[in-house]
Each structure stands twice: as C-alpha cells, then as structure tokens.
Amino acid sequence: MSNSLRNTKDGDKQYRSERRDFMFAGMALATAAMIPQGAAAAPARKPATIHRRKLGSLEVSAIGLGCMSMTSGTYNPPRSKAEMIPVIRGAVERGVTLFDTAEIYGPYTDEELVGEALAPVRDQVVIATKFGFDIRDGQWSIGRRTSRPHDIRRAVEGSLKHLRTDYIDLLYQHRVDLAVPIEDVAGTVKALIQEGKVKHFGLSEASPATIRRAHAVHPVTALQSQYSLIERVHENGALDTCAELGIGFVAYCPLGRAFLTDYFNEWSRFAEADRRSGVQFFKPEALAANMRLLALVREWAQRKGATPAQFSLAWLLAEKPWIVPIPGTTRLHHLEENLGAADLKITPGELAEFRTALSGIALQGARTSESALRDE
C-alpha cells in the first residue's frame, strides 16, 4: 500500500481490513483499531535476494514460514487447503525453504496441509515438525505431555503419514517432559536418525541445562523458542548455550503475536477465544505501558524505510547469524512484507544505539529472565 493511501481515511480503513484477516474473527477491538500514526509508515520492502542461514549443519532460508495458524484456528478462523496451499507454494517460489508445523496443530490438519502443499517440491524444502503432547480424542493440553520412546515413535509414524514423506528434516520435542529423562528422548531421536526417518534433532523452550544434556547424547541442531522484541527472556542463558554448542535458534512468534505489526493500540481488547486474551503483555494495563516499545520500533522502522514488522524481524536477524525467525501468516502480501526484512541491514552501531534505547523501556507482562533457566 502506498504512503498516500495510508494517509487517507479510506486508506486507513483498507489497511485495517487487510490486517484484520490475520486476526481471530471473534476479537473485539475497543474504539479505534489502529494506533494513531505520528508519521506515514514506510511502504513494505519487497524481498530482493534469497538469503540463507545455518542451523547447526542444516541450511535453511533466513526467514521461514510458521504454518500453525493456517488450519488450527489459533489466531484466525481455520483456513481451507484451497486458500493455504497457494500461500505455502508462494513461499517456496519466493525462496523460503523452512516450513514449521506440529502434530498438535489441528491436531494433524496442519501437517496434512503442509505435506500436500510441499509434496511436489519435497526435496527442495526443510520440513520441521514436533512431538511431545498426549492427544486424546482430538484434544490436547499444555500440561499433558508424553515423550516416552514408544510415544515418540508413534508420533513420528503419524507425522510421516500426514506429511506424505518418508523422512522428517527437523524433529523437535515440542515441550520438555519432566517425567522422561531428556537422555531417553535424545536417544530415541538418535535411533530414528540412524533409521533414516529423521535427519535433525531439535528442542523447544528447553533450559540451558536440558539442552546440554540432550546435546551430549546427540547433537541438537536447533532450539525453537519464543523470541521477539517484546519477549527477550532467552537472552538469559539459552542464546549463549546455543552459541557455545553450535546450535541454531528458531524464533517463533517473532512479531510478538502480532503486537509488533503495529496493528493494536492501548484500547485493543480480545475475545476469550482469541489466544492473545491469555497473553500477559496484551492485558489492558500492560498493553498501555508497552506502547513505548511500539513507538520506538515505529521510529526506527521509519528511519530504515521499512514497516514495524520488517524492522522487528531484521533486528532478530542482526542479533545473531544463526537466528531464523518463522513468522506465520495466511496472506501472500504479508509473507512478502516479512521476507523483505532479510534485505534490511542494521549496522553494529545502529544495533547498539537501538539496544540502548530499548534498555530504557520497562515492559509489562513479558516473561521473567529466570523462566529461561527452567524448562517450560
């Protein structure tokens, strides 16, 4: 969208309408849905170059595609395969090689979507999926985990079927199961790798101590955890551990569950069905306080000729050469906006300047730094 369009009342309505496609249909926004802009937002950069990064020894695109929201109904109504297959294949055409899913997304429907969409180009892409939750009658909960060896094998066989493939490029333990020693988990995945059913082993939201224990049994290729400008908890230990052991870091929710897209304001409210309703930094008092962060991001985005979302992703890429964000979207134009972040360069001096300003902002509702030192 052009600057001139965004500066008009009709243009503002159109912009809100486009972004609303990304949101859950039941979300309620109080009063104005958009944050008043002090200056026109920069138009989204279009991706110009295909960038690559390494997660351990695994080469992937610098920005991947998180597919969770496509069929799971997490942040928006579930989309049909007819709608989402062109988005996934459009990502391939634009150079994306890393696609992220999990058996619990749906459950199973997201893996089925990804498998069908990527079947024609299976040897050109990296498919990551996850195990670790006990799914009963199509339902699961965050507290009901299972990583016993036979459950891992059952999950892998199911994922292979849903994904229409005979191997999984990157297999994560979705969350640490405290009832099962991580050495047993790593040993089981190691055996699956030896059998050719899995190529790489990953963990998600694991503590530095757990990462080390798993890595001692079999090399961990990637740690996938939440990381963004509003959730920086993993700067306390996990990132240092990854750097030391040569492990890549895959950042999910890199746009802070859409907070950093500049869609919300301090009056935004969420229906109970919207997952953001339970996120602490979206609570009314926290949201109002966190507008300082969004103002800083908006300022720097304008300075760099980018959108707030692009600057937020570019910041992650600038932090470490082995960080790969996986923003999710159901819209091709949002995908192109996200991929344009890989062309945005933030110099070391700019990064230090931004960090100084960032350190002066007290966020509300973000996880505490101590939480990164324990398994979530």
Q: Which of 15, 105, 227, 252 is catalytic?
A: 105
Strand order in 65-66's β-sheet? Answer: 65-66, 98-100, 126-131, 168-173, 198-204, 222-226, 248-252, 323-325
172 assigned to active site: no
- Provide the annotated active-site residues: 105
